[in-house]
Amino acid sequence: MTQDEIEISATEFKAKCLGLLDRLSERKLTRVTVTKRGKPVAVLTPPKAAKEKTLPSIFGCLKDRTFVPPGYDLTKPVFEEEWDAEKGILHR
């Protein structure tokens, strides 16, 4: 193990968890191996660099792109006829 990688017991990890996570996010550590009774049970690494391209979020992409004419009732039913299911027709 190098200096920027550590191996730590689960008990010790519980006590130092937040500090270890801070060191990982600051890139002071590259790997934390958590052991239980001497056997590795988890490996923590920092997230990938933010330099990698990510897709933009689609949340809010259509904001201010719709137009509702004044006086138009959005609650008015669009389909005025009786539904097939109401007539007892389940399949055509």
Q: What CATH number is associated with residue 16? A: 3.40.1620
Which pLDDT does position 83 carry in this prediction? 83
Q: What are 36's strand-pairing partners?
A: 39
User: Residue 75 domain-assigned?
Assistant: no
Which pLDDT does position 51 carry in this prediction? 59
User: Residue 58 domain-assigned?
Assistant: no
Mean pLDDT (whole number) for 26-48: 92
**In the predicted model, is pLDDT for residue 61 greater than 90?**
no
Separation of alpha carbons 41 and 7, rounded Å: 11
List all residues 6 or more positions away from 40 whose beta carbon is below 8 Å from its beta carbon: 7, 33, 34
Which pLDDT does position 84 carry in this prediction? 86
How many structural domains is the chain composed of?
1
User: Residue 12 domain-assigned?
Assistant: yes
User: Residue 81 domain-assigned?
Assistant: no
Question: pTM higher than 0.75, yes or no?
Answer: no
* Residue range(s) defining the domain that contains residue 30: 5-44
Which pLDDT does position 50 carry in this prediction? 57
β-pairing, 39-44 vs 31-36, is antiparallel
Is residue 26 within 8 Å of residue 20, measured between CB atoms? no
